[in-house]
Structure 1
Amino acid sequence: MTNDLVQQPLSTATAHRAKALAVLCVMQLMIILDGTVVTVALPTIQGDLGFSQAGLAWVMNSYLIAFAGLLLLAGRIGDLIGSKSVFLAGLAVFTAASLLCGLATSAELLIAGRFLQGIGGALASAVILGMIVGLYPAPGEQARALGVYGFTSASGASIGLILGGVITQTVGWHWSFLINVPIGAASLYFAVRLLARTKGLGLGRGADVVGAVLVTAGLSLSVYTIVQTAEPTAKLPRTIVLAIVSVLLLAAFVLRQARAAQPLLSLHIFRKRQVTVSNLIVVLLFAAGFGFQFMTALYLQRVLGYDSLQTGLAFLPAPIVGAVMSLSVGPRLTVRFGSRTILLAGLAAFLGAQLILSQAPVGGSYLLNVAPALLLVGLGTGVGIPAAIMLAMSGADAADAGLASGLNNTAQQAGAAVGTAVLATLAASRSAVRVNEGAVQAAALRDGYSIAFLAAAGFVLLALLLAATLLKARR
């Protein structure tokens, strides 16, 4: 066989895989964007739909609760009936829910649409990682493919803030959701054509309905317990009861998985230290990352006085540097030095960003106090997130690809939900104390955000210690 005859099929296959990767990453980008694109539009949404201050948080929380609660179940369903079918269903639900959000005329309708978006996002996102690993099994190619995915996940939040500011300021907050409709429809068309249909294990293997109910209820209630603490009506006894019930549900889920004939989450996956520790690091990294985005946006708007467009544009350094690192520099460094080394470097850079912003003053300068931190965020997450994901997926068998993907995405979304809720609660509590002490509003807010940034730095420091002491050094 001549080289020309060999080269043509290889080139065609490479191009086909690249297109399939693009479809998967576009969906992941929409999912990440919708976690943050509404952040800068929240004041406008509140005025238009009549949200109370406490109710406004549910524009974010309803999405996160549905997403985090369903990821493990969605990953297992992908193993049983095939990843492509679950991905297409999730993409369709997400696109339809985006239309509902964009046409919402009441607070209740918007929250319902956001909840449906979370369901669709969970179905699609749970199988994306497994499909990428299946597309690119070779280590070098896989590093580059996960670099693209990592950039999508790492920079999507910043891009969401930028787009949210531009869209809200120019055409209105409704288009933050409606823009997903044509993109989702086009993605659905290309996904049907480009993604290979994989044969699942079969529904006869069972989806463990009892386990699914326990973990979905436990995860959702855990996220709800945290986010409701920021509401003025939250009471400590009620919070303690909710926390105990959520822990009992998750404990019952673990016991169920240990005894079930066809478990939803095979506990053997946690015997692999690389998988367990990497997912813990992902939880901490996303907790700090999403909390950082949220707190930085609030600092820019409420302390420095930026409008929604200025706030969005202020985040530009992070996705630009993140793109360079995760799409070009990061994969080469990962192949040369190994994922663990690159993860350590990324975490160190991200830690520096948190510490810089924790010291930002009331009359802070963007160039001196904010831009350097955002550059470090782009550098740190641009190499750190792909490396953490590679390590988390590295120990999974092919039969557990959907499970490992769902577990990793659960770690991401649980981390994002917990981090945002914890940091927002810390900031609000500290600011309230400072106001009671007689501090002016701007100073009280700044002190609250400073505490939140220091807490996020603690998350990253713990992740750094876990990576340095418990992860194996692998090329």
Structure 2
Amino acid sequence: MSSTPSTATASHPVASPANRNRWRALFVLALTQLVVVLDGTIVNIALPQAQIDLGMTDTERQWVVTAYALAFGSLLLLGGRIADYWGRRRAFMVGMLGFGAASVLGGLAQNNTELIVARGLQGAFAALLAPAALALLTVTFTHGRERNTAFAVFGTVAGAGAAVGLVLGGVLTEFASWRWCLLVNVFFVIVGLVGALLFVTESKAEGDNRYDLLGAITVTLGLGSLVYGFSLAEGGWGTPQTIGFLTAGVILLVLFVVVESKVAQPLLPLRVVVNRVRGGAFLMQAIAGSVMIGAMLYLTFHLQIVLGMAPLVAGLATLPLPIAITAVAPVATRLLASVGPRPLMIVGPVIVAAGLFYLSFITADGGYVAQVLPGMVLLGIGMAFIFIPLQNVALSGIAPHDAGAASATVNAAMQIGGSIGLSIFTAIYVSASTHTAATTPGLPALTAGYSAIFVAAAIAMLAAAVIAVVFIRGPKAELMPEGAPDLVHIG
């Protein structure tokens, strides 16, 4: 009689406590992805009020966004390796605590410097938190339909999180204060910490685990120099400062690649990125990040500054984007199982590009329903087709020892793409709006700048479709493997 319960458990694994905890862990990890992506945009709606309150310049306003994405993206590889070696759940929880503390610091900031520093600290702790969460997802759901479902949920959250941040930011700014766009993270932190303690199993890489300090220094300084150089392009691409920082960034990143090819325990094993399919997925992630972080910022400026929407109304006006992503996600998940990821990753960017081209026709006297709404719906549909397969493909075939590093690369591609995209879009905006202002100042000059950004973003998404055609190749069984190697769990 004592054997009956174990037999039942074996016959019905879905009902087992371990199985139930796996899906509860998915909720916790998806919540983490939401707060990390959300914090890249939640302050966007609040920026006009925060700028007035703290007396920020336009450049300082941009750095409230850039500081988060820059610190996040440049430290992600180190954060991923710390998670691998130190323990993914432990890194997850420390990242959560630090993220919450930085959020409180930002919410209580009394000047622009404190706010920018707090946003940088948020990004630094997110660099520990995010790869730990994605690595935990990778080692918790190892193969088959459950893995596809888990990554579909995670991808939906990643795609919709940026837009959800805009809505939540509008609500909090309208009814409380822009400061609550940062303080609200305390709620997410509490839920994440409790959930991790109850439902998430510790895991880490086994073997000889040594930190690659030279690699960490070169990639962090290289990415930082590159992003800062692009941010200086607002004042001109040919200035000594712009050329100097861009050149230094490229040299340092080349040195990073050399270091990684020599050291025994590299920060980013080159085998993670030289794979054609994964490399293509990382490039697509970077382009998608430039659109979701960079272009969406200027869309919110159009809603508030040109169309005159209050923060709450502007936030609600972005709802069609996450609604479209959420509505299309189940369809994309079914198509993923039947046709594989490649068709989705080709069609998705084309649909997003169509939406961006539509948005490029905005005018100073145009309305939301005619000029903005259809474009946002197309963006949501296209992003669902991109994000549902993207992270699964980017992490396919990854050995458990490299789970944190690969997960960090996925997130780093998104954040660095967003940072560089925002800097480039800002330079394009300044050039286009200044040119138009010479003959037609005021709101028409602003819309000319926004329109130029949307055209540039659309071209970038068409390039992503070409990347999918060239790089995402192979049988569906190879792009979406049904099996995975044995994984190391602790506890």
Q: Deviations over 1:1-31 (max 9, x none)?
A: 6674445653233321111111111111111
Amino acid at match of 1:277: G
CA contact (8 A) 1:317 1:374 kept: yes
In the aligned structure 2, how far is the partner of 1:390 from the partner of 1:450?
33
In the aligned structure 2, how far is the partner of 1:307 from the partner of 1:143?
40
CA contact (8 A) 1:339 1:474 kept: no
* 1:474–1:305 Cα change, 3 Å: farther
In the aligned structure 1, how far is the partner of 2:405 from the partner of 2:184?
31
Matched with 1:222 is: 226
1:145 to 146, 150, 174: 150
1:43 to 31, 35, 48: 48
2:334 to 326, 332, 335: 332
Q: How does 1:167-186 map to 2 (within 5 A)?
A: 167-186=172-191
Matched with 1:372 is: 374
In the aligned structure 2, how far is the partner of 1:147 from the partner of 1:96?
30
* 1:233–1:9 Cα change, 3 Å: same
Q: Does 1:468 align with 2:469?
A: yes
Q: Deviations over 1:100-122 (max 9, x none)?
A: 11111222221221111011111
Matched with 2:482 is: none
Amino acid at match of 2:190: A
- Tell me how far 1:386 sits from its aligned partner: 2.2
Q: Which moved more, 1:379-388 or 1:36-45?
A: 379-388
CA contact (8 A) 1:90 1:123 kept: yes
* 1:139–1:416 Cα change, 3 Å: farther
Q: Deviations over 1:321-380 (max 9, x none)?
A: 211222x22211111110111222222211111111011222222222211111111111
Q: Deviations over 1:234-287 (max 9, x none)?
A: 971111111111111111111111111221111122331111111111111221
Q: Does 1:268 align with 2:271?
A: yes
In the aligned structure 2, how far is the partner of 1:424 from the partner of 1:180?
28
| Dislocated runs of 4+, deviation >6 Å | none
Q: Which moved more, 1:248-257 or 1:219-228?
A: 219-228
CA contact (8 A) 2:102 2:119 kept: yes
Matched with 1:347 is: 349
Matched with 1:106 is: 111
In the aligned structure 2, how far is the partner of 1:286 from the partner of 1:114?
18
In the aligned structure 1, how far is the partner of 2:429 from the partner of 2:236?
17
- Tell me how far 1:79 sits from its aligned partner: 1.8
- Tell me how far 1:415 sits from its aligned partner: 0.9
- Aligned residue pairs: how many? 471
In the aligned structure 1, how far is the partner of 2:367 from the partner of 2:54?
34
> Which stretches in structure 1 are left out of the alignment for 5+ residues?
none
Matched with 1:444 is: 445
* 1:173–1:87 Cα change, 3 Å: same
In the aligned structure 2, how far is the partner of 1:451 from the partner of 1:234?
17
Matched with 2:288 is: 285
SS in 1 for 2:365: coil
- Tell me how far 1:233 sits from its aligned partner: 9.7
CA contact (8 A) 1:272 1:395 kept: no
CA contact (8 A) 1:91 1:188 kept: yes
Amino acid at match of 2:274: R
- Tell me how far 1:47 sits from its aligned partner: 1.6
Matched with 1:212 is: 216
- Tell me how far 1:432 sits from its aligned partner: 0.7
In the aligned structure 2, how far is the partner of 1:55 from the partner of 1:318?
28
- Tell me how far 1:473 sits from its aligned partner: 4.2
In the aligned structure 1, how far is the partner of 2:146 from the partner of 2:365?
47
In the aligned structure 1, how far is the partner of 2:11 from the partner of 2:372?
49
- Tell me how far 1:302 sits from its aligned partner: 2.3
CA contact (8 A) 2:169 2:178 kept: yes
CA contact (8 A) 1:94 1:121 kept: yes
Matched with 1:67 is: 72
SS in 2 for 1:311: helix
SS in 2 for 1:196: coil
Q: How does 1:396-475 map to 2 (within 5 A)?
A: 396-436=398-438, 438-475=439-476
SS in 2 for 1:293: helix
2:324 to 321, 324, 328: 321
In the aligned structure 2, how far is the partner of 1:9 from the partner of 1:143?
18
Matched with 2:166 is: 161
CA contact (8 A) 2:155 2:390 kept: no
In the aligned structure 1, how far is the partner of 2:283 from the partner of 2:238?
30
In the aligned structure 2, how far is the partner of 1:383 from the partner of 1:466?
15
* 1:384–1:97 Cα change, 3 Å: same
> Which stretches in structure 2 are left out of the alignment for 5+ residues?
477-491
CA contact (8 A) 1:339 1:390 kept: no
CA contact (8 A) 2:204 2:401 kept: no
CA contact (8 A) 2:54 2:111 kept: yes
- Tell me how far 1:73 sits from its aligned partner: 0.9
What is the percentage of aligned positions where both structures have the same residue? 34
Report the TM-score when normalising by structure 1. 0.95
Q: Does 1:135 align with 2:135?
A: no
Q: Which moved more, 1:300-309 or 1:242-251?
A: 300-309
